[in-house]
Chain A
Amino acid sequence: MKRDLSVTVAGVKLSNPVIAASGTYGFGEDYAGLYPLNLLGGISCKGLTAEKRNGNPPPRIAETPGGVLNSVGLQNPGVDAFIKEHLPFLKEKADVVIANIAGETRDDYRNIAEKLDGTDVDIIELNISCPNIEKGGAAWGVSADGAAAITKTVRAVTKKPLMVKLTPNVTDITETAKAAEAQGADCISLINTILGMRIDVKTRRPVLRNNTGGLSGAAVLPVAVRMVWQVANAVKIDVVGMGGITRAEDAIEMMLAGAKAVQVGTAIMTDPYAPLKIIDGIELYMNDNNITDLSEIAGKVLPW
C-alpha cells in the first residue's frame, strides 16, 4: 500500500523524511542523472562560506572500521557563486533546498544569511562546527555561548526557517541545543562529524594530511542516536537526526529517538541509491506496522 511519508520540519513540508546531508551531495548536480532529485525529502547543499575556499591539502579521506574520516576543510565556490550558478538548478530539480552555511566570524554568517535571505532556498542550516576566529579558533558550536551568538546573529537578518546543526564534540549536547533554541532556531540538526585521527604505523604519519578529521558513517550511529534522544528531550523545536544512517532501520531508530526527519551522508558514497532504498524501507516498515503517519513513531522510544 502507498503510504504518506510526509513530515513537517521547521514549518516546511517534506514529501518524505530523508534528506541528503551537507557535503556528501554537492549541489545535487552529480546525482541528477541517476534519479530525479525530488524523490528525496530535501537536499542540504555543501557548506557555503562568504568567499570561495580551496579547503585542506589531500589526502582528505580515509577509511576506518565502519566509517570514514574526512578533512575536506569546507572547499566550496562561495555563497555568490552558489546563488548564481548552482541554486537555480537545485531549485528546479529538488523539492526542498537547504542551504548549509559556515563562517569564521559572526560577520561571515550574517553576510551569507543576508544574501540567502533574498533567494528561494527553503531552509538555512547553520553549521557551527567551524573555528571561531574571534575567539582563538575553537569551533563556535563547542560552547553554548558560541551557538547562541551565531544563531542570534543569523536570526536577526532572516525570516527563513533556521536549522542549527550541532557538533557532537561537546561535553553536554543539550546545552548547545537549548542555547540555539533560546535564540530563535526553528529546528536542530545533529550530528556533525566526530573529531578523529588515524596513524599509519609504517610511516608514523597521520593518514590525513590535515592530521585530524571528522568521523562519519555507520560507526557513529549509536553516538548520534544517543545525542538525538538527549536533544529531543531537552528542546521543544523539531529535531533532524543524522550520523551513520545506512539503512531504513537506522532511520527509524533515529526517528524513535526523537527525530522528525533524517539526513543521510556517508552512505551515499558507498551507494548512491542509499537514500531511495531508505525511503522504500521506511514505507515497508509503515506497512508492516500499520503506521499511517510518521508522527506515530517520532520520539516514541520506550526507555527503560
Chain B
Amino acid sequence: MWQCGVYPLIEKKLISAGIYSFSVECPDAAKAAKPGQFAHIRISGFTLRRPVSICDADKENGTLRFVFEVRGEGTARLSETGVGDNIDIIAPLGNGFTLPENPARRVVLAGGGIGVPPLLGIARIMKGNAAAILGFKNSGKVILEKDFKRAGADVTICAEDEGVHKTPIPPLAEKLSRGGVDRVYACGPEPMLKAVVAECKKRGVECEVSLEQRMGCGVGACVVCACRAVRGGEELMLRVCRDGPVFSGREVFP
C-alpha cells in the first residue's frame, strides 16, 4: 500500500544539464518500494501531481532517490526545492518490474535518456548478472553510468557522439543473439521501446517495458492514464498508474 505525506528533501544534486537527483527521507515508502514503481509528487501552484520513477530505494537509511529532468513548468518548480524543504509525495505507486525468480539468471536493461533511472534498482538486485545498455542524445547527457557500474552491471553507453553505437538497439541485438538472456527490461522513448520489443520478439525473449502517460490521481481511480493492450486476443484499456507503468512488451506493442 502506498503512503501520502510530506517528507524532507535531504540531498539534492545537479547531475547533468537540467537533470537533478533528489533524495527524500521517506522510510515506509522506501521499505515498500520495488524497482519500476513511481512516486506522484505534488508541486505547489499546480493542480496535477507529477509522476517520477523511484530510481533507488535505500531501505536501511529510509530514503527514496528520484532523478528527473526539467521539462516544463512543474519540473522547473520542483527543481527549486531546497534541502530541508518538505515534498508532498504519494509512493510507492504502480506494479514495478517482475524480477526473475532466480537472480543468477542474466538480464539486459535497455534505457534511453530519462528512462534510465528506473532501471537502476534492478541492476542493484541482479548484481553482476545485469547488462545495462544506456542510450543518450549526446555524451553531455550521460547520467548514472557510475551508479550502474557500482551496482555491478556490465555497462554499455550509447550516444550520438560517443561510443561504438548510437542507440541501444544494435548492442541489444548482439547480446540477444549470443543467447543466455532470461529477460529484457526497457524504459525510454516510445520508438526505442518498440524497437526493443521487436528485437525481443525475434529472439523469443521476455521483455518488460515501463511506459509514460499523462496522469491524474496516480492511484487508479480516475482512469485518465489509459494504455491500450492486447491480452489473450482481447483489447483492454489499462491504467498506466495502476496496471503499469510496467507492461509486457508483447501486450502493449503487439
Which residues in B have their C-beta under 8 angstroms from that of A70? 216, 222, 224
Whether a CB of chain B sits under 8 angstroms from the CB of A61 is yes
Interface SS, B side: loop
Contacting B4 at CB < 8 Å: which of A29, A56, A218, A273? Answer: A273
Which residues in A have their C-beta under 8 angstroms from that of B242? 30
**What is the interface residue range for chain A against chain B?**
35 or more
A54 to B229, CA, bound (A): 11
Beyond A54-B235, A272-B90, is A61–B223 a contact (Cβ under 8 Å)?
no
Which residues in A have their C-beta under 8 angstroms from that of B198? none
Whether a CB of chain B sits under 8 angstroms from the CB of A171 is no
* CB pair B220 A67 closer than 8 Å: no
A34 to B226, CA, bound (A): 23
A76 to B239, CA, bound (A): 12
* CB pair B48 A55 closer than 8 Å: no
**What is the interface residue range for chain B against chain A?**
20 to 34
Interface SS, A side: loop
* CB pair A63 B46 closer than 8 Å: yes
* CB pair B219 A57 closer than 8 Å: no
Beyond A24-B217, A25-B221, A62-B214, is A34–B4 a contact (Cβ under 8 Å)?
yes
* CB pair A57 B226 closer than 8 Å: yes
* CB pair B48 A270 closer than 8 Å: yes
Residue ID in chain A nearest B219 by CB atoms: A30
Which residues in B have their C-beta under 8 angstroms from that of A64? 47
A151 to B216, CA, bound (A): 31
Whether a CB of chain B sits under 8 angstroms from the CB of A33 is yes
* Minimum Cβ distance to chain A for residue B48 (Å): 5
* CB pair A66 B220 closer than 8 Å: no
Whether a CB of chain B sits under 8 angstroms from the CB of A206 is no
Residue ID in chain A nearest B3 by CB atoms: A34
The interface bits of chain A over 74-117 (1 if a CB of B lies within 8 angstroms of the residue's CB, else 0) are 01100000000000000000000000000000000000000000
- 19 CB contacts below 8 A, A to B, read A23-B222, A24-B221, A24-B222, A30-B219, A31-B221, A54-B237, A57-B228, A58-B226, A61-B215, A68-B216, A70-B224, A72-B222, A72-B226, A75-B226, A218-B47, A268-B221, A270-B48, A271-B88, A272-B217
Told that A46-B223, A58-B226, A68-B216 touch, could you supply 11 new A-B pairs with CB distance under 8 A? A24-B216, A54-B226, A58-B214, A59-B213, A61-B214, A61-B215, A61-B224, A63-B47, A218-B47, A269-B216, A270-B48
Which A residues form the contact surface with B (CB < 8 A)? 23-26, 29-31, 33-34, 46, 54-64, 66-68, 70, 72, 75-76, 217-218, 266, 268-273
